[in-house]
Structure 1
Amino acid sequence: MIVLVITFLLAHLLGDFVLQPASWVAHKNTYKVASKFLYIHVLVHALLLVVLLKFDTQYWVGILTICLGHYGIDILKIYTQKQEASPKAFIVDQLAHLVLIIGVAYAYYPTSDIWFLFKSEKWLLSITSLILVSQVGAIVIRVLMSSWKLEEDSANESLKNAGMYIGIVERLMIFGFVVFDQWAAIGWLIAAKSIFRFSDLSRAKDRKLTEYMIIGTLLSVAIAISVGLLHNYIGSLL
Structure 2
Amino acid sequence: MVVLAIKLILAHIIGDFILQPKHWADDKMENKSKSKFLYYHVFVHAMLLLVAFQLNFKYWLGFVFIVVTHLIIDLIKISSQTKKNNRTLFFLDQVAHILVIVLIVLFYEGNLIEFSKIFTAKAQLFLIAIFSVTKVVSVFIDVIISKWEIKNETGEKSLKGAGKYIGMLERLLIFFFIVVGHWEGVGFLLAAKSIFRFGDLTKADDRKLTEYILIGTLLSFGFAMLIAQLYVSINCIL
Report the TM-score, using the length of structure 2 for normalisation: 0.52
1:182 matched to 2:181? The reply is yes
Same amino acid, percent of matched pairs: 32
- Give the drift of 1:193: 3.3
- Give the drift of 1:12: 1.4
- Give the drift of 1:200: 5.5
In structure 2, relative to structure 1, the CA distance for the partners of 1:182 and 1:93 (3 Å cut) is same
Q: In the alignment, residue 80 of structure 2 is paired with which amino acid?
A: T
Partner in structure 2 of residue 72 of structure 1: 72
- Give the drift of 1:181: 2.4
Structure 2 unaligned runs (5+)? 116-155, 159-168, 225-238
Aligned residues: CA RMSD: 4.2
Q: In the alignment, residue 100 of structure 1 is paired with which amino acid?
A: V
| Matched pairs, number | 160
Partner in structure 1 of residue 11 of structure 2: 11
Tell me, what secondary structure is at the counterpart of 2:110? coil
Partner in structure 2 of residue 100 of structure 1: 100
Partner in structure 1 of residue 91 of structure 2: 91
Q: Is the 8 A contact 2:70 2:97 kept in 1?
A: yes
Q: Tell me, in whole angstroms, the C-alpha distance in 1 between the residues paired with 2:24 and 2:73.
A: 16
Partner in structure 2 of residue 50 of structure 1: 50
Q: Is the 8 A contact 1:2 1:114 kept in 2?
A: no
In structure 2, relative to structure 1, the CA distance for the partners of 1:100 and 1:181 (3 Å cut) is same
Q: In the alignment, residue 192 of structure 2 is paired with which amino acid?
A: K
In structure 2, relative to structure 1, the CA distance for the partners of 1:9 and 1:198 (3 Å cut) is same
Bigger mean CA offset, 67-76 vs 55-64 = 55-64
Superposed CA deviations along residues 59-94 of structure 1, whole A, max 9, x for unmatched, are: 233222111111100001111234365333223222
Q: In the alignment, residue 186 of structure 2 is paired with which amino acid?
A: G
Partner in structure 1 of residue 61 of structure 2: 61
Tell me, what secondary structure is at the counterpart of 1:182? coil
Q: Tell me, in whole angstroms, the C-alpha distance in 2 between the residues paired with 1:101 and 1:64.
A: 12
Q: In the alignment, residue 92 of structure 2 is paired with which amino acid?
A: V
Partner in structure 1 of residue 125 of structure 2: none
Q: Tell me, in whole angstroms, the C-alpha distance in 2 between the residues paired with 1:22 and 1:151.
A: 30
Q: Is the 8 A contact 2:29 2:81 kept in 1?
A: no
Q: Tell me, in whole angstroms, the C-alpha distance in 2 between the residues paired with 1:99 and 1:3.
A: 17
Tell me, what secondary structure is at the counterpart of 1:29? helix
Superposed CA deviations along residues 188-213 of structure 1, whole A, max 9, x for unmatched, are: 442353255346546869x9xxx9xx
Superposed CA deviations along residues 101-135 of structure 1, whole A, max 9, x for unmatched, are: 111111111213489xxxxxxxxxxxxxxxxxxxx
Superposed CA deviations along residues 4-63 of structure 1, whole A, max 9, x for unmatched, are: 222212221222223323221110011111111111111221222223344434323322
- Give the drift of 1:186: 4.0
Q: Is the 8 A contact 1:5 1:105 kept in 2?
A: yes
Q: Tell me, in whole angstroms, the C-alpha distance in 1 between the residues paired with 2:59 and 2:69.
A: 15
Q: Is the 8 A contact 2:32 2:78 kept in 1?
A: yes
Report the TM-score, using the length of structure 1 for normalisation: 0.52
Tell me which structure has the larger Cα radius of gyration.
2
Partner in structure 2 of residue 236 of structure 1: none
In structure 2, relative to structure 1, the CA distance for the partners of 1:204 and 1:33 (3 Å cut) is farther
Q: Tell me, in whole angstroms, the C-alpha distance in 2 between the residues paired with 1:114 and 1:54.
A: 26
Partner in structure 2 of residue 193 of structure 1: 192
Q: Write out aligned runs for 1:209-228 (5 A).
A: none
In structure 2, relative to structure 1, the CA distance for the partners of 1:84 and 1:55 (3 Å cut) is farther
In structure 2, relative to structure 1, the CA distance for the partners of 1:26 and 1:190 (3 Å cut) is same
